[in-house]
């Protein structure tokens, strides 16, 4: 049983003192960020970080992001920061962006999965920021979920899954963005998107050439060399069979989804399309709404008993690229484009 702190309605920094002590004592603290919840531990304490891997059932070759609250903390863990990296940090931190930087040697190998780099992110969420500042150490934190499940965007979705696996739970209500941070790495002065998110291709391209690797929307073979180890693993998929359908032609898309639906299917679609189907729920009307809602909806699917869930895809541009990246994995690459 974890200790539970409710900060949904009222918040003051002092309330986080106890949780920050837990971090310093090498314990696990579940906390909100603006993207998704994280399972945090003192990022410079190897024994504490190992507990995260056990709690999540996470593969040890999948590195963790270190969360910082100020620029000095970045310099504490990263070295040889290039002018382009510095520009990206200045413009996007704090916010939903992770930059993979050259690591310093004292960062524990368990954090970086023995890579010579470390993922660094400065969350914008006040609770996350203050927790890191009070603990006065970079906090290692993966998304709050058992490996393979959708990331947690509110405590009620993940309470049963993680309550007996962490020491402390900070409830900050629903996370704002709902999808994990954009992960980038600068290689030869080009910005490679390792995982798409709220910070988009267009946001980044003001600062240099941006590369979107093929694996973002494709299946990765276990033996493929990928820049982001997390992309190799099965992710987000409910047990119920899911099919992602997309067409740039709206009428064709609706007709195809109608053809596929049976008496026992659920259609997940845009607000205004609901009326076209026998049994449908809305994931929102805008990309921001879809991003905010999608993990909660994916988590709810297995509670019902459908033979098939048909999910309407979105154009893979802007935030739509991140949404399609998650949906394609949720559907185990069961994807139909017409
Ligand atoms: O929004 C987020 O990023 C959330 C919140 C809690 O901050 N965290 C999160 O962490 O999504 P996680 O561990 O679920 O995903 C981190 C991703 C993984 O795909 C991992 O492989 C990649 O970032 N990553 C971390 N460090 C890396 C590194 N040094 N090189 C390449 N990829 C890295
Ligand atoms: Mg994750």
Query: Ligand 1 pocket by C-beta < 6 Å: which residues?
Result: 33, 35-36, 38, 62-65, 98, 100, 112, 115, 117-119, 121, 141-143, 180-181, 183, 194-195, 227-230
Position 236 in a domain: no
CA angle 260, 262, 267 (to 5 degrees): 70
Q: What is the DSSP string of 269-329?
A: E-GGGGGGSSSEEE--SSHHHHHHHHHHHHHHGGGS--SEEEEE---SSTHHHHHHHHHHH
Residues 213 and 246 in one domain: no
> Among residues 202, 217, 232, which one ends one of the domains?
217
Residues 179 and 32 in one domain: yes
* Domain harbouring 205, CATH code: 3.90.870.10
Residues 148 and 211 in one domain: yes
Position 227 in a domain: no
- Measure the CA–CA gap between 104 and 134, rounded to whole angstroms: 23
Residues 77 and 165 in one domain: yes
Instruction: List the domain range (segments joined by +) for residue 168.
Output: 3-217
Report the separation in Å between the CA atom of 209 and the middle of ligand 2, taken as the mean of its atom positions: 27
Report the separation in Å between the CA atom of 64 and the middle of ligand 1, taken as the mean of its atom positions: 5
* Domain harbouring 259, CATH code: 3.40.50.11030
Ordered per-residue pLDDT tens for the chain, 338 residues: 899 999 999 998 999 999 999 999 999 999 999 999 999 999 999 999 999 999 999 999 999 999 999 999 999 999 999 999 999 999 999 999 999 999 999 999 999 999 999 999 999 999 999 999 999 999 999 999 999 999 999 999 999 999 999 999 999 999 999 999 999 999 999 999 999 999 999 999 999 999 999 889 988 776 666 677 777 777 888 999 999 999 999 999 999 999 999 999 999 999 899 999 999 999 999 999 999 999 999 999 999 899 999 999 999 999 999 999 999 999 999 999 99
> Among residues 217, 233, 259, which one ends one of the domains?
217
Residues 92 and 205 in one domain: yes
CB atoms within 10 A of CB 243: 16
Position 64 in a domain: yes
Position 190 in a domain: yes
Position 233 in a domain: no
- Measure the CA–CA gap between 312 and 272, rounded to whole angstroms: 12
Residues 277 and 130 in one domain: no
Q: Is 31 in contact with 127 (CB distance < 8 Å)?
A: yes
Residues 283 and 185 in one domain: no
- State the closest ligand 1 atom to the C-alpha of 194, by its place in the atom list counted from 1: 32
Residues 172 and 96 in one domain: yes
Residues 62 and 147 in one domain: yes
Q: How many domains does the chain have?
A: 2
Residues 145 and 196 in one domain: yes
Report the separation in Å between the CA atom of 139 and the middle of ligand 1, taken as the mean of its atom positions: 13
Position 77 in a domain: yes
Residues 108 and 148 in one domain: yes
Residues 120 and 267 in one domain: no
- Measure the CA–CA gap between 244 and 327, rounded to whole angstroms: 7
Cα 305 to chain centroid distance, Å, stands at 27
């Amino acid at each position: 049983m974890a200790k539970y702190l409710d900060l949904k309605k009222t918040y003051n920094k002092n309330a986080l003192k106890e949780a920050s002590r837990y971090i310093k004592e090498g314990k696990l603290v579940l906390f909100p960020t603006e993207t998704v919840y994280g399972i945090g531990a003192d990022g410079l304490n190897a024994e504490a970080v190992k507990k995260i891997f056990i709690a999540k059932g996470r593969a040890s070759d999948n590195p963790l992001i270190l969360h910082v609250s100020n620029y000095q903390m970045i310099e504490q863990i990263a070295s040889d920061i290039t002018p382009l990296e510095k520009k990206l940090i200045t413009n996007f931190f704090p916010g939903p962006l992770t930059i993979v930087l050259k690591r310093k040697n004292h960062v524990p190998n368990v954090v970086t999965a023995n890579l010579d780099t470390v993922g660094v992110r400065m969350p914008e969420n006040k609770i996350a920021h203050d927790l890191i500042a009070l603990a006065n150490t970079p906090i290692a934190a993966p998304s709050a979920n058992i490996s393979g499940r959708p990331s947690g965007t509110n405590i009620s979705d993940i309470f049963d899954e993680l309550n007996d696996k962490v020491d402390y739970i900070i409830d900050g209500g629903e996370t704002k963005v709902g999808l994990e941070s954009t992960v980038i790495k600068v290689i030869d002065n080009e910005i490679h998107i390792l995982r798409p998110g709220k910070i988009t291709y267009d946001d980044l391209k003001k600062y240099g050439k941006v590369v979107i690797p093929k694996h973002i929307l494709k299946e990765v073979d276990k033996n493929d060399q990928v820049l982001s180890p997390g992309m190799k693993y099965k992710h987000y998929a409910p047990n119920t069979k899911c099919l992602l359908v997309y067409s740039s032609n709206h009428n064709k898309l609706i007709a195809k989804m109608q053809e596929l639906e049976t008496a026992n299917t659920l259609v997940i679609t845009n607000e205004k399309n609901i009326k076209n189907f026998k049994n449908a729920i809305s994931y929102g009307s805008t990309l921001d709404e879809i991003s905010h809602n999608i993990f909660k909806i994916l988590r709810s699917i297995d509670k019902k008993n459908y033979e098939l869930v048909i999910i309407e895809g979105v154009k893979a541009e802007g935030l739509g690229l991140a949404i399609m990246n998650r949906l394609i994995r949720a559907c185990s690459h069961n994807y139909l484009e017409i």
